[in-house]
Amino acid sequence: MPITSLLEQNNKLYPEDVALVELNPAINDDRRITWREFNLVEAAPVGPYRREITWRVFNEKANRFANLLLERGIKKGDKVGILLMNCLEWLPIYFGVLKTGALAVPLNFRYTSDEIEYCVNLAECDVLVFGQEFIGRVEEIADRISQNRLLFFYGDACPRFAEDYTKLTVNCPSRDPRILITDEDDAAIYFSSGTTGFPKAILHNHESLMHAAKCEQKHHGQTRKDVFLCIPPLYHTGAKMHWFGSLISGSRAVLLKGTKPKEILDAVSRERCTIVWLLVPWAQDILDALDRGDLRLSDYNLKQWRLMHIGAQPVPKSLIRHWKDYFPNHQYDTNYGLSESIGPGCVHLGVENIGKVGAIGKAGFGWECKIVDEQHREITEPETVGELAVKGPGVMTCYYNDPKATEEVLDADGWLYTGDMAKKDADGFYFLVDRKKDVIISGGENIYPVQIEDFLHGYEPIKDVAVIGLADKRLGEKTAAIIEIKPGFSCTKDDVEEYCMKLPKYKRPREIIFAGVPRNPTGKIEKPRLRKEYGVTDLVAAENQIE
């Protein structure tokens, strides 16, 4: 059953129920904005700019765009790029593409002009839909990319080199185009995050997307009473596949265009959100704001908030312990996944296993996992580090147009070799150790940065930390810790070194750098950027006290 069938089902069962809400705290507005097909309806004041659509309108919008694409000659198997910030139109556009049998190709909103051009060419996109924020970047390459593809613009003041999506779709039929789509049909191309190199195009079929929806609901038990707060970008599999839990249950989701602690708690309180997926930096920011007294929980209605879960990166145990100090009744969960395994869920902790915080969990619903050595032989001994491999209905079809790269990570039996180093304990729980490419070899010892990062996160003044390897004439590589200090705290190099005395000597950072820790929109540390920034010259660790 294709993923589009869930949207059509919700349209039939709950046509006038709200499907999506968009909140933009950056725009102050004293109106409640309810989006309908041809007009805006004003109601009671609610604060930030707010729009919403029902399942009926969602489905109609998807149908209108599907029919526009079909009118323009787009057919089954063609590709449509989507370059938009999170907004109310994002998901209807995505599903409009799928309803034609074409492939949706979401693009990272941080891409430069050259990266946009590279990705639309690699995926062989026939159409590009882009938003207001990208006019300048697309204009730079418009002459080159518009020769063989359609350019649709969503927003105000359509530029001369594109066509106006809103004006075109408003006159298109709202009926379902009824294109036959099967589980085996290609559905979407996602791009790898680029934290380990230039993005690869990851091809998934409809079975893969549908399994992501089933997996999410199985893990988190979404019902129609739930309200999911979605903050991360929808171009990423993480946000999209967590939202699929709302899709399969017919429940409401809130797209929040803001990440500040007050904005998040305001949204949870106003919209009565029950499930919130946070990245580690956002969760830490909320805790810091509560610790400083900048926010008070008593100012918000949060009793309905039942689940906080985190993914996309290793989660410090100290963060979850501190979170439970403020939110003792919260269920907590973490999910591991990668775009090649249709995002989160192939490994899953489970809300019942909070005693195993620090682990990424066990094989998720419908998934198999194992630890393998360099020859891809399974390692059965507990606590032995090897590469994590996963297998299940959500594994990608291939890297699009890249058979060599596909062969390197996907074997004939369907096992996907993740490139992540992990171990399994005696109870069968998997623990992420590090990215295979991030392992530091210093004096013949394998050092896993995530272990050191997790340790340093336990030091109260530290807000964020990244550990990388730098070239060393004697050792081959040496460890360097880039440390970001919490506002209002003080910390020196000597303080950090004293705290690190609890580590084995070979794991202690040999360089300490006080600086910001860059993360991409999905929360992953941008280690290639750090290695480039700090690895080209000798470093002198900051000696001065950082306030």
421 and 460 share one domain: no
CB 89 within 8 Å of CB 154:
yes
445 and 310 share one domain: no
84 and 149 share one domain: yes
Which token pair is 67? 């029919």
What domain range is 28 assigned to?
Answer: 4-204
Last residue of a domain, one of 181, 204, 227: 204
74 and 176 share one domain: yes
- The answer to whether residue 85 sits within a structural domain is yes
Integer distance in angstroms from the first to the last C-alpha of the chain? Answer: 56
Q: Are strands 227-230 and 275-278 parallel, antiparallel or unpaired?
A: parallel
How confident is the model at residue 544, as a pLDDT? 30
CATH (domain of 169): 3.40.50.12780
- The answer to whether residue 96 sits within a structural domain is yes
- The answer to whether residue 132 sits within a structural domain is yes
- The answer to whether residue 273 sits within a structural domain is no
- The answer to whether residue 540 sits within a structural domain is no
CATH (domain of 464): 3.30.300.30
Residues found in the chain: 547
E strands along 213-349, which residues?
Answer: 227-230, 252-256, 275-278, 307-311, 331-338, 343-348
How confident is the model at residue 542, as a pLDDT? 32
Enter the pTM of the model.
0.82
Last residue of a domain, one of 400, 415, 435: 435
Non-local CB neighbours of 171 within 8 Å, separated by 6+ positions = none
183 and 199 share one domain: yes
179 and 315 share one domain: no
49 and 164 share one domain: yes
CA distances in angstroms from 284 to 92, 198, 234, 370, listed in the order given: 33, 29, 22, 31
How confident is the model at residue 436, as a pLDDT? 66
E strands along 140-279, which residues?
Answer: 150-154, 163-164, 186-191, 201-205, 227-230, 252-256, 275-278
* Count of helices and strands (H, E) across the chain: 15, 28
- The answer to whether residue 280 sits within a structural domain is no
How confident is the model at residue 224, as a pLDDT? 96
CATH (domain of 355): 2.30.38.10
30 and 134 share one domain: yes
- Region label for 197, one of left (φ > 0), alpha (ψ between -120 and 50) or beta (otherwise): left
- The answer to whether residue 321 sits within a structural domain is yes
- The answer to whether residue 238 sits within a structural domain is no
Query: 526-538 b/e with 16+ CB inside 10 Å = b?
Result: bbbebbeebbeee
Question: pLDDT digit string (tens) for 214-254?
Answer: 999 999 999 999 999 999 899 988 888 899 999 999 999 99
368 and 460 share one domain: no
187 and 199 share one domain: yes
Last residue of a domain, one of 380, 405, 435: 435
421 and 443 share one domain: no
Number of domains in the chain: 3
Per-residue pLDDT of the chain (547 residues; tens, 9 = 90+): 899 999 999 999 999 999 999 999 887 644 333 333 333 333 334 456 899 999 999 999 999 999 999 999 999 999 999 999 999 999 999 999 999 999 999 998 888 898 899 999 999 999 999 999 999 999 999 999 988 899 999 999 999 999 999 999 999 999 999 999 999 999 999 998 654 456 899 999 999 999 999 999 999 999 999 999 999 899 988 888 899 999 999 999 999 999 999 999 999 999 999 999 998 878 988 999 999 999 999 999 999 999 999 876 667 788 899 999 999 999 999 988 889 999 788 999 999 998 888 889 999 999 999 999 999 999 999 999 899 999 999 999 999 999 999 999 999 999 999 988 899 999 999 998 766 677 787 765 678 787 788 889 889 899 999 898 887 766 667 889 999 999 889 899 999 999 999 887 878 899 899 999 888 766 678 887 888 788 643 333 332 323 2
How confident is the model at residue 101, as a pLDDT? 97
374 and 464 share one domain: no
